[in-house]
């Protein structure tokens, strides 16, 4: 029996002075108007950590070394399809975040972990509440 692949995502927690960097999604048709962490899909023949590096560079212009990424946890969730999302923390990064994909994001904001915007994507909120990790959440089943 042939099985369809499961979309795999990566989300990167960037923190400065105790505040978390969130992006407001826009123009994608998927969670538009909601806040999330920087990240995206892991591409074919790409590791999760390589995808994390690429996504923060493409979306924000930040540079992070693979050795500076720490595993937090995994969310296996039911959405429009069966999905798996990895969460990693950038212990260090270089650069100032900027919106480099205005067709996908219309706002960047730093927020205290205990004061996330009401419009934060639910599975991202739950992952952030799970803490440092390692952890594994199954949502929507």
pTM to 2 decimals?
A: 0.93
Q: What are phi and psi of 51, to 5 degrees?
A: -65, -40
- Report how far apart, in Å, the C-alpha atoms of 120 and of each of 7, 16, 70 are: 21, 19, 22
Owning domain of residue 125? 12-139
Q: In this structure, is residue 120 part of a structural domain?
A: yes
The enclosing domain of 98 has a CATH number of 3.90.79.10
Instruction: Give me the tens of pLDDT residue by residue for the chain, a chain 141 residues long.
Output: 455 678 899 999 999 999 999 999 999 988 999 999 999 999 989 999 999 999 999 999 999 999 999 999 999 998 878 899 999 999 999 999 999 999 999 999 999 999 999 999 999 999 999 988 899 999 988
Please count the structural domains in the chain: 1
Residue 42: inside a domain: yes
């Amino acid at each position: 029996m042939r099985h369809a692949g499961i979309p795999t995502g990566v989300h990167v927690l960037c923190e400065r002075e105790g505040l978390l960097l969130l992006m407001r999604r826009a123009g994608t048709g998927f969670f538009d108007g909601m806040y999330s962490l920087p990240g995206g899909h892991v591409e074919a023949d790409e590791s999760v950590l390589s995808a994390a590096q690429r996504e923060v560079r493409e979306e924000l212009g930040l540079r992070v070394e693979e050795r500076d990424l720490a595993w937090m946890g995994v969310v296996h969730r039911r959405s429009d399809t069966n999905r798996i999302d990895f969460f990693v923390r950038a212990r260090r990064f270089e650069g100032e975040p900027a919106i480099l994909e205005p067709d996908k994001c219309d706002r960047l904001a730093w927020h205290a972990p205990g004061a996330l915007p009401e419009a934060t994507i639910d599975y991202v909120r739950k992952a952030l509440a799970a803490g440092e990790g390692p952890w594994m959440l199954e949502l929507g089943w």
